Structure 1
Amino acid sequence: MARTPIPGTRDNILSAASDLFYRHGVRAVGMAQVIEAAGCGKNLLYRHFPSKAHLAAAYLTLVRARRDTAIEAALTTADDPAGQLIALVTEVADLVRSPEYRGCAFRNHLTEFPGEDDEPARVARSYLRDTRAQVDRLVAELGKPARDADRIWLLIGGLHGDPAQAPVAIEWVTELVR
């Protein structure tokens, strides 16, 4: 007789995998490590996630939902596009200064799997494309040239490399939009 899965099992597996993937990278983590960290059996893992690619896509989708929520909360702190751009860069600056920060999950994934066009890569590219479009839209609403959106995107990207530059990035975006 088949056992009834415990409610929350999928979330437990995804949580364990997400932590491992973010800390060590998707390529470096084996499914056996996920099984051990989640405290589940192999069959249960594969019932919820038929492949590592499915699990990686679910991980990136979860990260995207969290990032979208954080960005939306930051944007609601300002009423104008200039304030929203400053809030967006400040939110990223705060994120990268966190001791748990290990880089942008989406950029990390695309670096691990360059040229891939599977579901995890599509989730990662979609997030980056949509976030860039948000910057472009806010810059256009300010009536600023498109190169200013390029500059802000470079600031955001640079933050992912060096958290010590966070105050400089906030200062520069403030100068750029004011």
Structure 2
Amino acid sequence: MARTPIPGTRDNILSAASDLFYRHGVRAVGMAQIIEAAGCGKGLLYRHFPSKAHLAAAYLSLVRARRDRAIAAALDSAADPAGQLIALVTEVADVVRSAEYRGCAFRNYLTEFPGDDDEPGRVARAYLHDTRAQVDRLVAELGGSPKDADRIWLIIGGLHGGPADQAHVAVEWVTELVRAH
């Protein structure tokens, strides 16, 4: 007789995997670790996530949903493209300064699996592409050039790899750039 699935099992597995993947990297975490952290059986994990790639794609999709909400809130907090660009960079700077920050989940994944064209890689690339498109759109609305968008995108990228105690510098630079327009 088949057991009735417990509500929330999929979310519990995804939560455990997400924590492990973010702290240690997708490559370093084995399915046995996820089974142990989630407190589930192997069959149950594979019923919800047929492979590690499926689980990694779900993890990155979950992170994307969170990031999309945070970015939307930041953009909604400002009335014009200049303010929105500053709010966007400020939001990223705040994330980078948090004690839990272990790098951008999308960039981390693509660093671990640079040549893979799998579902998790597509999720990561889509997020970065769409975020860059937001920057491009805001810079264009501001009357800036593609070179200005490149500069802001490089500043955002630098936030993810730079020292957290210097995050305020990124906000200052973007403020200077957008105020010049």
Q: TM-score, normalised by structure 1?
A: 0.99
List gaps (5 residues or longer) in structure 2. none
Partner of 1:40: 40
Q: RMSD of the TM alignment (CA)?
A: 0.4
Structure 1 segments, 4+ long, off by >3 Å, are none
Figure out how many residues of one structure are paired with residues of the other and give that number. Answer: 178
In structure 1, C-alpha distance between the alignment counterparts of 2:93 and 2:35, rounded to whole Å: 34
Letter in 2 for 1:30: G
Partner of 2:107: 107
1:75 pairs with 2:56: no
In structure 1, C-alpha distance between the alignment counterparts of 2:146 and 2:165, rounded to whole Å: 27
Partner of 2:167: 166
Q: In the TM superposition, what whole-angstrom CA distance separates every residue of 1:106-155 from its partner, at most 9, and x where no partner exists?
A: 00000000111000000000000000000000000011111000000000
Report deviation, 1:165: 1.9
* Pairs within 5 Å for 1:1-178: 1-162=1-162, 163-178=164-179
In structure 1, C-alpha distance between the alignment counterparts of 2:176 and 2:22, rounded to whole Å: 33
In structure 1, C-alpha distance between the alignment counterparts of 2:161 and 2:48, rounded to whole Å: 34
In structure 2, C-alpha distance between the alignment counterparts of 1:11 and 1:82, rounded to whole Å: 38
List gaps (5 residues or longer) in structure 1. none
Report deviation, 1:175: 0.4
Q: In the TM superposition, what whole-angstrom CA distance separates every residue of 1:26-48 from its partner, at most 9, and x where no partner exists?
A: 00000000000000000000000
Letter in 1 for 2:157: G
- Describe the SS at the equivalent of 1:129: helix
